[in-house]
Amino acid sequence: MTGNLYRGQAGLPFSSTLRVYEPLEAFPAGQREAIRAAGARAASRAAVENAELLASLGRITRAGGDPFPTGRTDLVRVTSAPGAGRHAAARAEAPEAGTSDAGAAAAGDESRKGGAERVLLYCPSQLVLRAGLAANALMEGIHGPLAEMLIPEEQRDKHQERIDQVKARDGSIRVHTRASTWGIPFSWFSLFAEGDHKDVVESGGRILTVRVWAPITEAMERARYAVANLALAAPDLDMLDDLAQLTEWLELFHVNSMVELDYGAVADKVYPDESPMDIRLGIECLAEGDMTGAAAAYRRLASRWIPIRQLARAS
């Protein structure tokens, strides 16, 4: 990893992401070659992350006052997983995502030697769509008046034209990435378990990020379990609505997809992290009527994540 950008040292907020990687056949036929080619151009996952961060900083200082991405240099992350039909039975030993075709082919050769065919899965950045959604959310929030000053109406209208072009070209759109700043939503942890594959990325004695993977079928089973139990034991909990929306989102994707939680720079503050276990135990305790156990699980989560969220208001 070059520079300090990914380490959260450039004055950027901690940002974490939840991504879905799909097999190539899940994308419209007209997009497949472009997605495959973009994935092949990615020399490494580190290069993808740095390129995306540098591009975001470049947009902020771009002449003309347009902070929105144009989509001309959209990036694609790549990982590999067991072949079709095996996701529910085996967890992926996912290699460094963003590898080149040659590296992926080598990984595939090794997998075939071990008797397990592997397939490439792709997660496009979709920055045009995501920037539009983020801008709309900002406009509708409590900081709407400030956002109107920072993002001129002329630029918002120009970006809406880009969004309309993407939708006209690609048809039905599935946004593959969800992002969160200053902490990870508790509902995301319900998709993962302690035994899921983890990739801890370190440099210079610091943890740059931690990535956790789960087959989408298992992630949905866990989410539905949580929704069913929370609906009975704690129907007023905000997390229930978050989980219901999360489940609906996951249902949009191919059955052989993978879900990735990328902690980002916040990993250096919280890892090793037992949040998936605390969420699971808390929901199990609620289902069994053990309010003491549920409260203890929440206290562990709060002690870990509330200090991170308070950084958003620090001067």
In this predicted model, what pLDDT tens digit does every residue of 46-55 receive, in sequence order?
A: 888 887 887 7
Identify residue 214 by its one-letter amino acid code. Answer: A
pLDDT band with cut points at 50, 70 and 90 for residue 159: low
User: Does residue 171 or residue 216 have the better pLDDT?
Assistant: 216
Say whether pLDDT at 278 is over 50.
yes
10 Å CB burial of residue 69 (0-12, 13-18, 19+) is buried
pLDDT band with cut points at 50, 70 and 90 for residue 111: very low
pLDDT of residue 12: 75
Mean pLDDT lowest among 11-25, 219-233, 271-285: 11-25
Contacts (Cβ under 8 Å, ≥6 apart) of 149 = none
In this predicted model, what pLDDT tens digit does every residue of 16-46 receive, in sequence order?
A: 999 999 999 999 998 899 999 999 988 788 8
Residue written as token pair 């950084």: 311
Average pLDDT, the chain: 80
pLDDT of residue 108: 44
In this predicted model, what pLDDT tens digit does every residue of 120-155 receive, in sequence order?
A: 999 998 876 666 666 555 556 555 566 666 666 666
- What value does the mean pLDDT take over residues 250-258? 97
pLDDT of residue 170: 67
Say whether pLDDT at 91 is over 70.
no
